[in-house]
Amino acid sequence: MLFNVPGPIVDIEKQTTLRPSLWKYRYVLISLALLGILFVYQLAVVLLLRKSVILPTSPFTGFKLVNPYESWKGDGQEKISLHAHSDEVWFTPERHSISEIQSEYKREGFSNVAITDYGQISETENTDYIRGFEWGQNLKKRHLLSVGLKKSFYDYFPIYASRENLNWVMDRMKKLGGYVVISHPKLFDSFSKEEILSIAGFQAIEVYSPFGDDHKILDSLLSVGRNVHCMASDDLHYFPETSIKTFDQPTWKDMIQTLGNQRGRKGESFLRYIVTAEGNLNQAAVLASLNSGSFYCVKKFFQGAEDPMVPRIQVTKNDTIQVDSQERYLEIRFIGQAGEVLQVSPDTNRAEYKFQEKDSYVRLEMIALTGSILSNAIYRN
């Protein structure tokens, strides 16, 4: 005999109405799971990839004066651009090609240019090409520039990086042979003055940038015994319209540049750069100049202006700084501890300043008719 066992009563209408809500919650759960994974990953790298450092807190001391321009010979100069972005990165296809960038800068009298794309070293057939990359794809625009290193590496801190994490990044850059620069610190206040004073591993800071100039930060660092160099960079993203019109670029690139409002703008190219001694123009020579501080930072006041000539700086046996230039400057300023203006020599191409016992360092600012020039520090050691 077969028994008919009644099954559970199912409310078909209620089950149908529940399915869409369950499907909706499934996506919410997946999203929460992904956010959890990202949180755990970010927490792990923040805790693991870190480096603590002991920073100097007192001024330079010693009887010997270090002059980074001691070996500077000849009256010639090499214009070098160290911060430019190309179309080599997958998410910036609308930018200019490496060949276009190199040819435009060469036409403007530059001896060399470094292509420093985001997160990668973009290659070129030019054997004198200066290699580099810009680290940092975080929302705060906290970027670090590394010039001359052997290979790039990923930004492991897309959301948050502590000061110890930044120390680790810069230490890795230096181990890979890179010269490390803090990029555009005034952009979104990505690096505050307090943070710059509390991290280590960078050798220069962009004091001349399209995103804001601030050379006073040098005095904050030099005053506590940190020999940090100046840096002047175009941070090139797009050329002005006059240059773009000469390029043989595809229609789709024209459309993207137009829609993105990159066309018709004046641009910031050819205005900010460094100057090395005559003959120092390939990667090895430029890196040697960077590491020793034997270069000047230049900011031209307007495009098409004549290049201001950099001076020769010598230190005599009686600790007198001598400045001599082919160009007559509006002013030559000698800057010392805490940014104090030690001396101003107006309307001249020559000036002298005797290093005083109280001086821990002296740097120079030359104001020319077409631009301003910064030197790196002469300091006690």
Per-residue model confidence (pLDDT) at position 2: 45
Per-residue model confidence (pLDDT) at position 19: 55
Per-residue model confidence (pLDDT) at position 7: 53
Per-residue model confidence (pLDDT) at position 35: 82
The answer to whether the CB of 231 falls within 8 A of the CB of 82 is yes
Give the other-Cβ count within 10 Å of 332's Cβ.
Answer: 25
Per-residue model confidence (pLDDT) at position 37: 81
The answer to whether the CB of 179 falls within 8 A of the CB of 206 is no
Per-residue model confidence (pLDDT) at position 124: 74
The answer to whether the CB of 97 falls within 8 A of the CB of 87 is yes
What residues in the chain have per-residue pLDDT under 50? 1-3, 12, 16, 18
Which domains are seen in the chain, by residue range? 65-380 (3.20.20.140)
The answer to whether the CB of 370 falls within 8 A of the CB of 301 is yes
CA-closest candidate to residue 380, choices 48, 155, 56, 5: 56
Per-residue model confidence (pLDDT) at position 274: 98
The model's pTM: 0.90
Tokens (6 digits) for 178? 């890179």
The answer to whether the CB of 354 falls within 8 A of the CB of 331 is no
